[in-house]
Amino acid sequence: MTGGYMDADSLVRPFALAAEWAPDHPALILGDDWLSYGALLEQVRRAGAGVAALGRDGTPPRVALSLGNRPDLLALFFGIVAAGGIVGLLDPKWSAAQTAAAIETFRPDLHLTTGTAATWIAAQPAGWTIPAIDPKTPFLVGFTSGTTGRPKAFIRNQGSWLATLEASRMEFGIGAEDVILVPGPLVHGLGLYGAVEGLSAGATVCVQPKFDGTDAAAQLAERGITTLVLVPTMLVGILDAAERDGRRFPALRRVVCSGAKLAPAVHDRLAALCPDAAVLEYYGASELSFVSLRSSREGAPADSVGRPFHGVELSLRDDDGRPVERGRPGTVWVRSGMLSDGYLGVTDGAGYRERDGWGTVGDYGWIDGEGWLRLVGRAGDMVITGGLNVYPAEVEAVLRAHPAVAEAVVFGLPDPYWGDALSAVVWWRGSARASLADVRGWCHDRLEGYKAPRRVFAASDMPLTGSGKIARADVRERAKAGGLELVA
């Protein structure tokens, strides 16, 4: 491929060129503060110099970052990558146990936090030159929950993200004239990629210290935001604030959304505030990058996740790995230049698999006669709620430890705000009972808040499969149909 990002000699080069072409152009805006491209590039060069000094024996330096939405997170990201190092993104909201598990898996040479990052950058020498980097060089270790609750670390190389930048350039068309609002956390893939994509294109990227729908709606109305990158729950929060305050978004040209499907009502509300904005919903995974795209301008069926993303081939296969006919369900396999390099360390055996250049995370779907992809289920019954992944087995284990709970099944139920509302069916232990508040509080004390079920149902009988397992699909359908007691 010629032109675009694929000609860059490192993942950082597009950003560095944008900074050299327009050093005074605003790169990052956070509240009332802003940083120019030139100033950000200076921080990147300092960070790169410091990381390069960590290198030894030809092994890429590993730097863990425990930072919120701050400009120095992006300066460090680009600096580490520029030096051929590997970034390990740790969510500052994690518990101490989760952070320790991630550190044990990643084994960083340096761990920078909110209290140390800015000082460390300032202490590094200026004037460092960004070198060319082999595209096969790993640059990112991200963490996604496994069925055991232990963070699962996926690995990406620089070439995979250069291919991803090229694909999204073709689909989204973001350029230097754009002003992008990324209201979500930069430690998550959607937020980080949205910011890096904007900075690689020379655009201005606006971030929030913490998501606030009212502030985001104000920025959209007053700052000339052209592009919004977020999960559906945040979009609903912004629309609520805009409708309450009477705001409209005349400059908005595109809404890039992922994590769950947008409800039709959300599409209608958005169209009322910015009728000219394209809604670009993509389906993907941390391990696969982009898979498919559903654009509001292409007439895709409402229940589909669109057609293959630019540069992506899809193959739906049966359990023996054989392709299935169109219209028949199968496991979704993907071939593209955007695939990850798998996982770091020991995993639970679930998640990403690769075979002959094709990758899958175990999602199940089918393709209709016109080429639109529909998803039927997700690997391990994973639930995406508010744009965040939840593995039911982790929540079920916590629920089963509750003194009043004998057994539990966790799943998602359709919800206009959350996409899927995390729900649970419990079987009580003898005569014991618990309230919804008690069950949620139990989970809150042991898991991240979003993993606490929002709805809890109680069942008396337990439907079983022929092999003696709980018939999970039957349980979910009974809850969905209102056939179970709702715990108050």
Burial 233-253 (b: 16+ CB within 10 A, else e): bbbbbbbebbeeeebebebbb
Structural domain contains residue 150: yes
Is 264 or 27 the better-scoring residue by pLDDT?
27
Q: What is the CATH number of the domain that holds 460?
A: 3.30.300.30
User: Is 284 a residue whose pLDDT tops 80?
Assistant: yes
Specify the higher pLDDT residue, 128 or 266: 128
Q: How confident is the model at residue 379 (pLDDT cuts 50, 70, 90)?
A: low
| Together in a domain, 214 and 107 | yes
Mark whether 358 and 412 lie in a shared domain: no
392 & 351 share domain: no
Of 336, 367, 398, the last residue of a domain is 367
pLDDT bin (cut points 50, 70, 90) of residue 338 is: very high
Last residue within a domain, chosen from 341, 367, 393: 367
Q: What is the mean pLDDT of residues 384-410?
A: 86
295 found inside a domain:
yes
φ/ψ bin of 43: left (φ > 0), alpha (ψ from -120 to 50), beta (otherwise)? alpha
pLDDT for 233 equals: 79
Q: Which residue would you say has higher pLDDT here, 1 or 345?
A: 345
Q: What is the pLDDT of residue 145?
A: 56
Among 397, 383, 354, 365, CA closest to 455:
383
- DSSP letter, residue 144: E
Looking at the structure, tell me whether residues 299 and 387 fall in a common domain.
Answer: no
Q: Which domain holds residue 225?
A: 4-367
pLDDT digits over 39-83, tens only?
999 999 999 999 999 977 788 999 999 999 999 999 999 999 999
Position 397 pLDDT exceeds 90: no
Cβ atoms of 71 and 42 within 8 Å: the answer is no
Are residue 296 and residue 392 in the same domain, yes or no? no
376 located within any domain: no
Please say if the pLDDT value at position 305 is more than 80. yes
Residue 469: per-residue pLDDT: 66
Three-class SS state of 201: coil
Q: 184 and 92, same structural domain?
A: yes
Average pLDDT, integer, range 314-340: 93
Does residue 467 carry a pLDDT above 60?
no
What value does the mean pLDDT of the chain take?
A: 90
Q: Same structural domain for residues 215 and 265?
A: yes
Is residue 375 in some structural domain? no
pLDDT at res. 259: 78
Q: Please give the Cα distance from 420 to 273 (Å, whole number).
A: 25
Q: What local confidence, expressed as pLDDT, does residue 146 receive?
A: 45
In a domain, 343, yes or no: yes
Of 367, 397, 431, which marks where a domain is finished?
Answer: 367
Pair 337, 448 in one domain: no
58: left (phi over 0), alpha (psi -120 to 50) or beta: left
> What is the domain-level CATH number for residue 266?
3.40.50.12780
Asked if the model's pLDDT at residue 191 lies above 60, the reply is yes
pLDDT score for 472: 82
Residue 466 pLDDT exceeds 70: no
pLDDT(327) > 50: yes
Instruction: For residue 38, name the pLDDT band (cuts at 50, 70, 90).
Output: very high
Q: Per the domain annotation, does 234 fall within a domain?
A: yes
Question: 141 and 67 in one domain?
Answer: yes
DSSP code per residue over 62-108: EEEEE--S-HHHHHHHHHHHHTT-EEEE--TTS-HHHHHHHHHHH--
Burial call 338-358: b when 16+ CB within 10 Å, e when fewer: bbbbbbbeebeebbbbeeeeb
Residue 231: its pLDDT value, please? Answer: 87
What is the per-residue pLDDT across 131-155, written as a single tens digit (0 to 9) for each?
Answer: 999 999 999 999 875 444 456 899 9
**Count of structural domains, the chain:** 2
Q: Give yes or no: residues 390 and 268 share one domain.
A: no
Q: What is the pLDDT of residues 401-456, one digit of tens each?
A: 899 998 899 999 999 888 899 999 999 988 999 999 999 999 999 888 899 999 99
Asked if residue 373 belongs to a domain, the reply is no
Pair 361, 396 in one domain: no
Tell me what the mean pLDDT of segment 232-241 comes to. 89
Higher pLDDT, 465 or 169: 169
Name the amino acid, one letter, at 444: H
Residue 283 is assigned to a structural domain of this protein: yes
Flag whether pLDDT at 210 surpasses 60. Answer: yes
Q: Do 37 and 121 fall within a single domain?
A: yes
